[in-house]
Amino acid sequence: QVQLKQWGAGLLKPSETLSLTCAVYGGSFSSLYWTWIRQSPGEGLEWIGEINHIGNTNYNPSLKSRVTISVDTSKKQFSLRLTSMTAADTGVYYCVRGAMPVPGTFGGFDSWGQGTLVTVSS
Selected binder of another protein within 40, 45, 75, 87 (CB under 8 A) = 45
Site string for another protein, 4-43 (x = CB under 8 A): -------------------------------x--------
Please say which residue, 2 or 16, places its beta carbon nearer to another protein: 2
In sequence order, what DSSP letters do the residues of 77-105 get, joined into one string?
EEEEEE-S--GGG-EEEEEEEE--SBTTB
Q: Are 2 and 99 in contact (CB under 8 A)?
A: no
In angstroms, the Cα distances linking 14 to 41, 59, 118 are 18, 22, 12
The contact set with another protein (CB under 8 A) reads 35, 44-47, 50, 58, 60-61, 94, 99, 101, 105-110, 112-115
